[in-house]
Amino acid sequence: MVIPGLLVAAPRSSSGKTTVTLALMRALRRRGLRVRGAKCGPDYIDPAFHQTATGEPSVNLDSFAMPGSLLDAVAGLAMADADVVIAEGSMGLFDGIVAREGATGANADIAARYGWPVILVLDVSGAAQSAAAVALGCARYDPRIKIAGVVLNKVASPRHRRLVETGLARIGIPVLGALMRDASLALPERHLGLVQARETGDLDLRLDRLADLAEAGLDLDAILAAASSTGIPHGETFLPRPPGQRIAIASDSAFSFLYPHLEIGWRRAGAELVAFSPLADEAPAPDCDVCWLPGGYPELHAGTLAQAHTFRHGLRSFSETKSVHGECGGYMVLGKSIEDADGITHPMLGLLPVSTSYRARRLHLGYRVATLIADGVLGQAGGRLVGHEFHYASEITPPPSRDEALAEVTDAEGMAQGLAGHRRGHVTGSFFHLIAA
């Protein structure tokens, strides 16, 4: 399978990658192309925006967390029936962990593995010819990748653009278009990133405006012509196996952070996914054999969840005989209580001996490698899981003992992080989001 693709990346975060990516996706879809999206790294919010922009599912590609056989299977999903793949980077183009080449989690690993040229987004606010030096450094830093050209973002004026282009002409890197400085282009954000696609009521209007700007300001023909691929390396591939045959999945504004490749893998293995909404006071279907509570924003809806009596009673009854697992926000709800930003404590399900606080905010961020302590819905004792944490809430109860902890955890470089998560009866949970087992 050789489907042409491009990676939209930048030298650093907050350069405008998402803006350019969504503008490209929507504009190319207008041309009648079947565009598929992908997000480099452990981001569970942006793929939903890609799906809205393209009308097609988007996936995550992670060179650290995914073994090659899984990474290639997920890349195959991105390429399936597509005319072009537009992948969006995260952080800076080369930012990742210290690891062997090709397994650092950096955007560049993905571009190199699949032969996707890079469209480099340059935020040129506060710079002119010096932007060319940054682009030149990116072009020369890693010989595995090719910079197809740059898109200038936050251009102040026609004169500013001429100055920037003068520098880029000197080093021979083509300019594939520009977007003027416009604060109204920014999508609304909150503490974990963009406000979710399902909560952005005017998202289609915003995407159409971005497509208008792409058609006016970007050389779409040149960008399409630059797309290419070396295809997927030959070898065995696999998608994740489901935790059960019929899986109840919490799904609403409080529970939505489920990686697409997990859901697709579960369905392809024959599992049935049955959605329910705790915010609508719905309980998991009693004929399911597993209940999964993804992450999300329970700290913003703690009062509603505390009063969701059907949900609370139904999930407690379900857990008496069947497996329940919570990730991050789901873990918080399975605990005893959540303290919100105003310092109000809301009772939760009490199925796990943990209380959390969003008032005591502290960033927890990074890959996690977990070794399971006991058999459970995630696998057998000694099984190795790779995931990612990104949350501001903190546990305010004592750390778990080995008798009740879910796993022993290290960071991506093998530094011990201690015991993590909890298990009690049929119920398990932790703050990290599973990517691969």
- 199-231 residue pLDDT tens: 676 889 999 999 999 999 999 999 999 999 999
pTM (predicted TM-score): 0.94
The pLDDT assigned to 181 comes to 85
**Residue among 325, 386, 318, 371 nearest 352 (CA):** 325
What sign for the dihedral angle of Cα 124, 125, 128, 133?
A: negative
Averaged pLDDT, 49-57: 95
Q: H or E stretch including 111?
A: helix 107-114
- The C-alpha atoms of residue 122 and residue 139 are separated, in whole angstroms, by 13
Mean pLDDT of the region 219-246: 95
pLDDT at position 360, please? 77
What pLDDT, on the 0 to 100 scale, is given for residue 375?
Answer: 97
Return the structure tokens found at 336. Answer: 């005893």
pLDDT for residue 44: 84
CA gap 410, 408 in Å, rounded: 7
Annotation says 328 is catalytic:
yes
Comparing 6-15, 141-150, 358-367, which segment has the lowest mean pLDDT? 358-367
Compare 201 and 400 and report the one with higher pLDDT: 400
Between 275 and 196, residue with greater pLDDT: 275
Check pLDDT > 60 for residue 190.
no
Alpha-carbon separation of residue 40 from 59, 66, 153, 235 (angstroms):
9, 11, 21, 21
Q: What is the band of 189 on the pLDDT scale with cuts at 50, 70, 90?
A: low
User: Using CA atoms, how far apart are residues 305 and 255, in angstroms rounded to an integer?
Assistant: 11
What are the helix (H) ranges across 230-372?
260-268, 302-306, 309-319, 329-334
HSE of 423, CA atoms in CB hemisphere, 13 A:
20
CA angle 414, 397, 253 (to 5 degrees): 80
Q: What 3-state DSSP class applies to 84?
A: strand
203-217 and 17-30 helices, crossing angle to 10°: 80
Please say whether the beta carbons of 192 and 297 come within 8 A. yes
Q: What is the structure's pLDDT at 195?
A: 67
Radius of gyration of the chain measured on its C-alpha atoms: 22
Going from the C-alpha of 145 to that of each of 109, 221, 229, 329, the distances in angstroms are: 9, 21, 12, 37
Please write the tens of the pLDDT for every residue from 280-292: 999 999 999 999 9
Catalytic-role residue among 40, 288, 291, 328 = 328
114 contacts 229 by C-beta, under 8 angstroms: yes
Can you tell me the mean pLDDT for 71-88? 96
Q: What is the mean pLDDT of the chain?
A: 95
Choice among 21-35, 183-197, 305-319, 377-391 with the minimum mean pLDDT: 183-197
pLDDT at res. 18 = 94
User: Which pLDDT belongs to residue 245?
Assistant: 97
